[in-house]
Every structure is written in structure tokens, then in C-alpha cells.
Amino acid sequence: MPTSSRSGGVVRPWLVAGVAAGALGVLATIDPNEPGHYPTCPFLATTGLWCPGCGSLRAMHALTRLDVATAWERNPLAVIAVPLLVAAWLRWLLDAHGSPRARRWHPTGIAPVVVWTGLVLVLAYWVARNVPGWTWLSPA
């Protein structure tokens, strides 16, 4: 078994990939569009408002069917996040294999202004989803 002293070895990235694949498998077979299969978002249930994550289960379900258009209608920010998460996972895998380039791309090396901009983006998205009539950002 290949082992590495850094970042907990190469086993962990593949473990995470397995868990993600399992979750996508469940999402592909058990349709979140039908009520009663998954818990409702606690924020939506208590406030009646959309949170930044509302619709992401249905978006991922659509992505397992390669239906990007439907996924985009449910939660565009979640669709945008998918390639970023895949890139972060690839970097993690390369880092676990000891790649010096992957070490240079560490998430902690991202310019702070980029992360703060991301925070503002998420907060603006949260508000915009709940503006009456702006259904293009929310699952409504």
C-alpha cells in the first residue's frame, strides 16, 4: 500500500472520493424531488426563507443525470462549487503524493481578499434568493 507522511497519506483522498461517490449514488437512485425522502433544510423549515444551500440536493440529483440546466435552476452557486471542489480534491491527492506544485496551491495560500469576496458573494446570494420575483436564483 502506498503511504505518505504528509496530509495523512493517499488513502484519505480516496476514502473521501468513495464517500462522495456513495452519496451521489444514493442521490441518483432516491429522488430528492419527491417529498419525504430527505430532511428539509432547517433554515427553510423554521424561517420559510431560502438559504444558500437550498436546492443543492436536487441540483446534484440533476447533475447525476448530466442535466446541468435543471441543476442550474435549483442552485446555481452549488453548480459553480462542484468544479472548485473537484479541483480542491485533485490538489489534495497530488499533495498526498508529494507534489511540490500542489503544496504551492494550498487553499491557505489563496489571497484573503478572494475568500472575503466569496463570503460577500454567498451573503448577497442568500439575500437575492429571497427577493420576491427573483426566482432565477432560488429553487422556487
Partner 1 sequence: MSYNEPPNYGTPPPPPAGGYGYGGAPQGPPPNNNLVWAILTTLFCCLPLGVASIVFAAQVNGKWAAGDVAGANESAEKAKKFAIWSAIAGVVVIVLYIILIVVLGVASSSVDTDY
The contact set with partner 1 (CB under 8 A) reads 6, 32, 35-44, 51-57, 60, 75, 77-78, 81, 84-85, 88, 103, 106-112, 115-116, 118-119, 122-123, 126, 139
What is the rounded distance in angstroms from the CA atom of residue 122 to the CA atom of residue 57?
18
CB closer to partner 1 out of 85 and 128: 85
**115 — alpha (psi -120 to 50), left (phi > 0) or beta?**
alpha
Residue type, 105: W
47 sits in which H/E element: helix 42-47
Cβ nearer to partner 1, comparing 1 with 36: 36
Nearer to partner 1, 1 or 117 (CB): 117
Number of H helices, E strands in the chain: 7, 0
- In terms of CB distance, is 88 or 131 closer to partner 1? 88
User: Are the beta carbons of 6 and 95 closer than 8 angstroms?
Assistant: yes
Find the shortest distance in angstroms from Cβ 32 to partner 1.
Answer: 7
- In the chain, the amino acid numbered 43 is F
User: Residue 78 in 3-state DSSP?
Assistant: helix
CB 10 within 8 A of CB 97: yes
Closest separation between CB of residue 37 and partner 1, Å? 7
CB closer to partner 1 out of 86 and 131: 86
